[in-house]
Amino acid sequence: MPRRLRADLHIHTVLSPCADLEMSPVHVVSQARSLGLDLIAVTDHNSAENVRAVIEAGSREGLIVLPGMEVNTREEVHILCLFDRPSDAEELQELVFSRLPPGENDANYFGYQVICDSFDEIVGFNPKLLIQAADISLGELVAKVKALGGMAIAAHIDRPAFGLLGQLGFVPQGLELSALEVSKMGSIPAMRKAQPHLAPYPLISSSDAHFLEDIGSNPLDLLVEEADIEGIEQALWGLWNSNHERTFPSRSRYR
Ligand SMILES: [Zn+2]
Ligand SMILES: [Zn+2]
């Protein structure tokens, strides 16, 4: 039986230097549950070091948590990379860490990059400058995410900084993006009208929350067979097809 999920696929934690220090695993999960969300994705900048803690905190509260990262590519484009298993996110993290330019985070300037356990105990700080662009191209990143069975979504495509359209002005052909995210500043109907070349892609919204009060501010209602990457991807493409009576090639697992 298909089930309805209220989802927010783009949430930062205290590991992101720009996120509020209240964005701890327990707080994020309890805020999401209190707002009636069923599923969230953890997408810190260039790191997945808090995904296991949020997954564990979520499992205690009946919240499904997808492990993910928001990778900053060589083109200075932000891509949400979502997975079923933390180990897949961590494999991508290894690659991204190996491609980050040298440089240490200045916590006083950029903010702290806190690694927590699932009870909000601090277990360490990531010393790298996580907000930098990794030396990985869009094409290589998306192919790697697909090879790991994940889903790549271009984040806040309409934002002038770090958005796909803002940076490149177009969606490169052959890039296997599962969806494009429109920022809180934009609207999906307006984007559809203004950018007809985006027709092949589902457009989604999410909160890109850096503060607790932002969580769930742009929820996504999905009808899924399974609450996993394949189920969500099918729901996104199904939603797009039924709204627009267009037929796209069926999507199947890329593993
Ligand atoms: Zn971003
Ligand atoms: Zn973000």
Closest listed ligand to the CA of 79: 1
Specify if 192 maps to a domain. Answer: yes
CA–CA separation, 178 vs 240, rounded Å?
12
Find the CATH number of the domain harbouring 151.
3.20.20.140
- Residue pLDDT, tens place only, 155-193: 999 999 999 999 999 999 889 999 999 999 999 999 999
Specify if 253 maps to a domain. Answer: no
Distance 245 CA to ligand 2 centre (A): 31
- Residue pLDDT, tens place only, 234-248: 999 876 665 544 333
Give the per-residue pLDDT at 240. Answer: 67
- pLDDT(47) > 50: yes
Q: Which domain holds residue 55?
A: 3-244
CB contact at 8 A, 127 and 47:
no
- Average pLDDT score over the chain: 92
Split into its structural domains, the chain has a count of 1
Residues lining ion ligand 1 (Cβ < 5 A) are 78, 155
Residues lining ion ligand 2 (Cβ < 5 A) are 70, 208
CB contact at 8 A, 227 and 46:
no
Distance 70 CA to ligand 1 centre (A): 7
